[in-house]
Structure 1
């Protein structure tokens, strides 16, 4: 089969013939129909983000596929089924604190690195080997437009954070980083889950306008100035009432002060979920005040990715029409144009812009 291979950090991806994946017990082989190229993929491949990939590797975090082979432990999957392949792989020998790898993308700790060496290659290939429990059946309509359904990989990440924070229908949510690729997805998912109001701060006036045009008055945009106290006051005022929950999805280049300004708008007994990359490239720590957290009984938690059940929940939200994929601006690239796809993703990382690689397509 053909695949895009990262031979070394800083080297361009090379499309070449590689051996077909052979499944072990508890694994499925899928034909990859579509996979999203993250806007920051170029930073990963250059080594700037210092992701723990071990080249040579076929990168790519999950995607939409068609089942080619199933193992003996699969009782309902059938060859030919359209499926979603979740990249978040967990070790099976520790139910309490499993090691985690993002197949073809990243990992956590030495245990995650060991897991990544077994499930080394990701979705930038014609075929991919995936753990059985990471394969989720899709409705028939997904097969007609797999590139659009590949957006599941973007939406499920903030969905995991919203589940972790216990977002309830009617609540007010503030999305820190709302004008970014993941942040805008969080706005959409929160509204699909029944949020009464979403505060959307950002500096990109056009992106803020796009959010309000798409979702109407339930989204309250706030144009940020970069001055911490003034921004906190503006976000609080936009809520016109208490903010129940804050989710942060800002990228590594953002300052910790922006996260702090957003987090400290949350009400007494409110929840703050941290999912972004602030601090990954150095810089000041978040430094939330101890007395503020304690005296206001604020819950602050980190969340990396999402629970396995979130995949099914997200598929259901889309299939039911609660979350519409029609407005996505999708640009597809064949496998041979993977370098162009990475460049396009970097230049088009705004709200609801998807760069999609179609490895098995024409």
Structure 2
């Protein structure tokens, strides 16, 4: 049975992680910039630690596990694993297994950062073809990196096996209650920063953790629309099928929106709150990313540019006078590819 988060979970997450994450800024565009909108905001979440929203969920997952009343890290008197960088002694001299994640991208960076902030060892499993720059950054953050297989599914399988064998805390990239609730703190901030005047929030969707959190945070106050590449339509396909299904993944945004299946929590929240989906093509994503740089000097990944692409391409058609916020969720990208 999947636990589906609610607003109380998001508020609890905010209390738990407030001292560890940044309150990222909001930029309101000049009136008339995008008719027929009356107001348009960018939520500049790429200013978050490690360059993406993922730090929110990672901190909430780890800090929840550290709470006396919550799940705990596995602790034993055994020394097995001490030579692989995973095990470190706690104050009682036991060995703490630490955290494990599967991701060569933003989720892995966030888990490594959050673990280091708590003095905990982190092991991140990535495919053998993961971008060297991201592998290098993971190591700089102190993570023990294990490269296995040629796709995310291979890394995921190895990571979950390692977590089971070692007793380490597994941090899913998008489909755990603590992860989704942590991402939802962005939605609470956005409501405050817009004075509660926002009608619609455009969010890029891969596995759906950010969408699930934001939709929960603003439920009853604003609606959320998921923007997806037409080459990786996890939400769109799940809504059509009545539940998450596997989809093919390709295209320019696959490095950050590379999940092949929407999360169970994300689907449940989308169904409960009425989240919609719009699809955009690669050319529209590339153009939206270019316009963000050309017009606003904003540099983001192709993934978050997908949310803006929904607006500029006409895939999402706002009503007259509508007030829209676009979440720009990550900037771990190569600026030289802006064109």
- Which bin holds the TM-score, normalised by the shorter protein? 0.3 to 0.5
Higher strand share goes to which structure? Answer: 1
**Structure with larger Rg:** 1
TM-score w.r.t. structure 1 length?
Answer: 0.34
TM-score (norm 2): 0.36
